[in-house]
Amino acid sequence: MSFTAKILLLGSGELGREFVISAKRLGAYVIACDAYDHAPAMQMADAREVFSMLDGVKLREAVERHRPDYIVPELEAIRTEVLAELEAEGFTVVPSARAAQLTMNRDAIRDLAAQELGLETSRYRYAVNLDEVRAAAEHAGFPCVIKPVMSSSGKGQTTVQDAAGLEAAWEYAVANMRGDRARVIVEQFVDLDYEITLLTVRHKDGTTFCPPIGHRQERGDYRESWQPAPMADAAIGRAQEMARTVVEDLGGYGLYGVEFFVKGEEVIFSELSPRPHDTGMVTLLSQNLSEFDLHARAVMGLPIPEPIRARPAASAVILADRDSAMLRYSGLAEAMAEGADIRIFGKPEARPYRRMGVALATGADTDAARAAARKAAEMVQIHYD
């Protein structure tokens, strides 16, 4: 067996799939792990393991069996105390076990940003029952946003207009949380102009930023993204300063997806993921090196070019609308004839609102690219046989 590095990937969704492709191009040997077999990244990896990332015993067994050079989390729901133990024993966790622990839950990373690092955030409180939700909403004010402290892809998030909607939002958050903590964050709804993801690469030679990515969400989940997002230079500078502050505190090497709300030149920290971000799928077409290429390079200690530039491009997701394990797709030729690029994720099962693929397009500007990506996504049809 010949390889440049051995990587144990924890989580094997569509982001992990693209990371595996990037890592394989650099000669890595990748073992993809997830709770279900035939997950997207497993289809590209050298080997696979099927177990729950919340099973600490199985997690340790996989690490000790494969002895990887790098342990790379691709999702939040991981038994992070085991990662801390493994790091203390000499294994390299990407970007660090502390980063995985703090970002597994929204409460930990929000408290770090707001209370320890002094970054501007929205008003917020936590709640573990409906009475506490009501009190937290009083503090945040209406409208407010309620979401689990641990979830993925926006699951469990609701914008609540008045007190009558609190109970349903609490129940929806608990039903869609990950992990074993029935705890939510209730935060002020920010009257924003737009929100961005600032992909921030921490690597052996310093910290590098990608051009900002704009995005639109529905049901708390990303539906389209575009790059570069038009943004005042002063606001970009503030976002970069805040992102640098938090990623340098978390440490390690890798790509971070740092999210901000923007109102004029005011920038408010929202969330952070210590890994490639779903809104960053646009970089598969907009940048010469995608977010996955950059993550793989940073993880493996390889150079990151400066500066990173992006041409106007956009992504639009392809969604399922029902439960099915029998899937086929049509319309790819028609979508691609319009100049778009289509990526089908290879998920073995569909369910309502699950992302099954993405359409990517360029344009004279981001508005044109967004229109082209949306049109291409609508052309791709999922058939449930």
pLDDT for 276: 97
Class (C level, CATH) for 5-93: alpha beta
Which of the pair, 12 or 1, is modelled with greater confidence?
Answer: 12
The count of other CB atoms within 10 Å of the CB of residue 200 is: 24
Residue of 345, 281, 269 whose CA lies nearest to 103 = 269
Residue 271 known to be catalytic? yes
Catalytic position from the list 22, 270, 279, 315: 279
pLDDT for 154: 62
pLDDT for 181: 67
Is the pTM higher than 0.85?
yes
Q: Report the first-to-last Cα separation within the chain, whole angstroms.
A: 41
For 287, the token pair is 């940048």
Is the dihedral angle over the CA atoms 105, 106, 107, 111 positive or is it negative? Answer: positive
pLDDT category of residue 180 using cuts at 50, 70 and 90: low
Catalytic position from the list 18, 259, 291, 293: 259
Say yes or no to pLDDT of 367 above 90: yes
pLDDT digits (tens, 9 = 90+) for 131-165: 999 999 999 999 999 999 876 656 788 999 999 99
Residue 355 known to be catalytic? yes
Say if 123-188 and 190-311 have the same CATH topology: no
Between strands 28-34 and 5-10, the pairing is: parallel
Catalytic position from the list 56, 154, 179, 331: 154
Which of the pair, 327 or 106, is modelled with greater confidence?
Answer: 327
Spell out the domain ranges in the chain: 5-93, 123-188, 190-311, 312-385
Q: Given its phi and psi angles, is residue 62 left (phi above 0), alpha (psi -120 to 50 degrees) or beta?
A: alpha
Residue 224 known to be catalytic? no
- C-alpha distances out from residue 298 to 9, 99, 196, 268, Å: 15, 15, 22, 27
Residue of 106, 65, 99, 60 whose CA lies nearest to 79 = 60
- What dotted CATH number matches 312-385? 3.30.470.20
Matching CATH number, 190-311, of 3.40.50.10490, 3.30.60.50, 3.40.190.10, 3.30.470.20 = 3.30.470.20
SS3 297: helix
Whether 40 and 349 have beta carbons less than 8 Å apart is answered as: no
Say yes or no to pLDDT of 99 above 80: yes
Residue 87 known to be catalytic? no
Between strands 221-227 and 213-218, the pairing is: antiparallel
- Cα–Cα–Cα angle for 169, 170, 176, rounded to 5 degrees: 90
- Give me the chain's average pLDDT, please: 95
Whether 317 and 22 have beta carbons less than 8 Å apart is answered as: no
Q: What percent of the chain has pLDDT over 90?
A: 88
Catalytic position from the list 18, 74, 76, 278: 278
Catalytic position from the list 48, 98, 110, 355: 355
Residue 56 known to be catalytic? no
Matching CATH number, 123-188, of 3.30.1490.20, 3.30.460.10, 3.40.50.720, 1.20.120.1200 = 3.30.1490.20
Task: Find where tokens 């099973």 sit.
Answer: 55
Residue 162 known to be catalytic? no
Whether 77 and 100 have beta carbons less than 8 Å apart is answered as: no
Residue 205 known to be catalytic? no
Non-local (6+) Cβ contacts of 234 within 8 A are 265
The count of other CB atoms within 10 Å of the CB of residue 194 is: 15
Whether 295 and 283 have beta carbons less than 8 Å apart is answered as: no
